[in-house]
Amino acid sequence: MAKNNYVPLFETKQVIGRIFFRCIAASIFLGICFIVMYRVMFFPVGGKAERWTWIGLFLSELWFCLYWFFSTVSRWNSVYRLPYIDRLSQRFGKELPGIDIFVCTADPLMEPPSMVVNTVLSVMAYDYPPEKLSIYLSDDGGSDLTFYAMLEAANFSKTWLPFCKKLKVEPTSPEAYFRTASEPVNAEEWLSVK
């Protein structure tokens, strides 16, 4: 690929407040050092029960210090990555790989069919070449309600997907879109979709 066609797929930005976080982490580390010094300097000499209690407390504090250390190290240089989704097809064009998306459901009472249908329709409306996108619904409960909801969704998708592509609708989930849509762009087409 030529260098002049290169466009970044994401932008990296540093998290605001890193210095504040590092100051707090340093003060916590100082406190941990004081606790360890206290435990080592004032180790009890008399009484077997006191000694084992002291050792147990010291080991648990060391365990939590180790946990704190690893969680702090992972956040020390925190960054945000802001993706440019529209540049993916610009950069790779026809070389985009095929994608299989599995939507799983089991119980129509716990996962209402309307939620499953909205998920499937939202995935179908992705800005990705349709011939390279495969969506599978796995209904482990074998619910008739989910089956008939998907039949209705298949009919609705014939209207919804062109509507999303034509007007670049965001969010692509019908439920979320109709909840947030206030003024339609094309009132007649909008009402027919709704």
Annotated binding site for UDP-alpha-D-glucose, which residues? Answer: 111, 140
Please name which of 112, 127, 97, 117 lies closest in space to residue 173, comparing C-alpha atoms: 117
Rounded to 5, what percent of the chain is helix, strand, coil?
A: 60, 10, 25
Annotation: binding site: 111, 140
Query: How buried is residue 137: exposed, middle or buried, by Cβ count under 10 Å (0-12/13-18/19+)?
Result: middle
* Other beta carbons less than 10 A from residue 16's beta carbon: 10
CA distance 147 to 32: 58
- Count Cβ neighbours within 10 Å for each residue of 46-83 and write b for 16 or more, e otherwise: eeeeeeeeeeeebeeeeeebeeeeeebeeeeeeeeeee
Tokens describing residue 24: 């707090």
CA distance 190 to 181: 10
Tokens describing residue 60: 């648990």
